[in-house]
Copies of this chain bind each other. A is one copy, B any other.
Amino acid sequence: MWMETKTEVGEASRSRASFSRRALNALLLCTGDMKHLDEYMQDKLFVLQLAVWGLRGVARVILANNPLSGVLILAALYWASPWQGLLGTVGVLVSTLTAIIMGQDSAEVSGGLHGFNGMLVSLLMGAFSSAGDWYWWLLLPVCLGSATCVFLFSGLSSVMDRWDLPVAVFPFNIIIFLYLLCTGQDNPYFPHRQALPPGALEPNGTALIAVEVIRGIPLGVGQIFACGALGPSLLILGAVLLYSPLLAVHALLGSAVGTLAGLSMAVRHGSLYSGLSGFNGALGCMAVGGLFFTFSWRTHLFAIASAFLSAYADIALCNLLGTVGLPACSWAGTLTATLMLLMTGSLAAHRIPIGQVMAPEHNLRSRSQWAAGNTAERESTDV
């Protein structure tokens, strides 16, 4: 009896343990880069494969590489505005399909690298349009712009490869400029709003509301997708958290740094409240803190420096481009991240080659294993 009971208890606890272990494993399977999904999808229908590539592309916008994050982000966009969600979906699909037709590298396509620029172009075309939602003619430039992103991605990658740099969102930034400049201010077919420089003075000196400023910090994460609502922004943050908690922390930190920089330069209140001051800081901080460099206290400090540089550069570019009615988009964050990747010295020692970049947690683990291996080797050679 005693033995039996013990066995039963043991079995129950074991089954509980195995259940929680299985639950943890299931959760772990959904985090990080989900490389195992690629093998699973290999012989599935093309439409299913395309969906996974597209979802990876959606997540790539915010530097994540996880289809489930992509699902969450897409849900957030449809929640914020179904029209914007539709535009984003069209953008990511059109540019991924264009890449396939143009015979781009299949590993790049399946990694979602040809989707995120197209998605951003579509979202921003929608956000700047002043023709209102469900203006179907907008799908024409959306499709053309998304397809053109593949041209620019492919061309720029030949140049950037020399320094092992990612193409990042340079194609998006160029295409959205071309679109806004092309259509001009009073285009009869595709009217759009002018960008307001952040240094523009308020009509009357209203006091700054602290709660609104703090609310702007998570909104800064949402603004990476041109989304200015709190709920969807938090869902987007959750999507990043699913991919990598470290990346999510850096996203919030960068957005806070960006808001701080905006405060120090006395930018428009609207810019602080809407999160527009924060999103470049978030991008600069995420790129350095964990993704392209192994996480350490030193990299962390560089990530904060990168966030400040991104944020100030964004204010500068907004003021410059505002004179010709253009938004600064994510030029500041992208240029700063590229600069950081080019740097020599102690930061370069932590750099991960672009081909081996994965979720920060994975980078950290593989680095420590590799370092441990090195130590073991050194010890063995000492003997």
- Give A residues with C-beta under 8 Å from B: 99, 102-105, 148, 151-152, 154-159, 162-163, 177-179, 181-189, 199, 201, 264-266, 305, 309, 312-313, 315-317, 319-320, 323-324, 338-340, 342-347, 349
Contact = CB atoms under 8 A, between A and B. Distances in A.
A344 B183 CA distance: 29
Instruction: Identify the 6 closest CB pairs spanning chains A and B, nearest first.
Output: A103-B346, A181-B316, A155-B342, A184-B199, A155-B339, A182-B316
Nearest to A148: B309
Contacts of A179: 316
B105 A345 contact: yes
A102 B295 CA distance: 16
Q: Which of A103, A317, A338, A345 has the most CB of B within 10 A?
A: A345
Contacts of A178: 312-313, 316
Q: Which of A264, A305, A309, A343 has the most CB of B within 10 A?
A: A343
Contacts of A185: 199
B103 A182 contact: no
A208 to B, nearest CB: 13
A159 B189 contact: no
A156 B342 contact: yes
Contacts of A343: 151, 154-155, 158
Given A182-B315, A324-B320, A345 B103 contact: yes
Contacts of A199: 184-187
Contacts of A309: 148, 151
A186 B158 contact: no
A199 B159 CA distance: 33
A186 B162 contact: no
Q: Which of A151, A154, A266 has the most CB of B within 10 A?
A: A151
Contacts of A315: 181-182
A344 B152 CA distance: 10
Q: Which of A157, A182, A342, A343 has the most CB of B within 10 A?
A: A182
Contacts of A151: 305, 309, 339-340, 343
A299 to B, nearest CB: 12
Contacts of A148: 309
A85 to B, nearest CB: 27
Contact of A339 (B102, B152, B324): B152
A345 B114 CA distance: 13
Contacts of A183: 265
Given A187-B266, A317-B181, A344 B105 contact: yes
Given A187-B266, A189-B266, 7 more contacts: A102-B345, A103-B346, A103-B349, A155-B339, A155-B340, A158-B344, A179-B316
A303 to B, nearest CB: 13
A182 B261 CA distance: 10
A307 to B, nearest CB: 13
A158 B184 CA distance: 37
Contacts of A188: 266
Given A154-B343, A201-B186, A320 B181 contact: yes
A226 to B, nearest CB: 21
